[in-house]
Amino acid sequence: MLAELHYPQNSIKGEDLDEYLEKGWFRMGQSIFNTNFLKFNGSLFSAIWLRINLLNFKPSKTQQKLQKLNAKFNVEINPSIALSPEHLILFNKYKNHVPFDAAPSLTHL
């Protein structure tokens, strides 16, 4: 298999995504894919996919240093807001500007 790509039409269920990931698939944007080759600047390259066993992960000295530097930042998860017409207009401008396939709409994110 050179490549296989799926674009789920609706939100994918967690257990379905887990099954894809268990089989070596990757998620990028709104797609799920598996490939042996990647194309950059018109050239094909062999793909070597890496996965990290998080149970055995030990951060490197550089990663530890970055973690300390980033400790001053906070992460907040808040309830989503209702989408306004301005949000939709801004997203459409963004979608038309980026050089990759963005989500079809804000509701698909």
pLDDT by position in tens, the chain (length 109): 566 777 777 777 888 888 888 888 888 777 788 888 877 888 888 888 777 888 999 999 999 999 999 999 999 998 888 889 999 999 999 999 988 778 888 877 7
d(Cα 38, Cα 49) in Å, to the nearest integer?
11
Cβ–Cβ < 8 Å for 84, 108:
no
| DSSP-based three-state secondary structure for 92 | helix
Q: Which of 68, 69, 5, 64 is nearest to 36 (CA)?
A: 5
Does the pTM surpass 0.75? The reply is: no
Cβ–Cβ < 8 Å for 34, 4:
yes
For residue 35, the cross-strand partners are 3
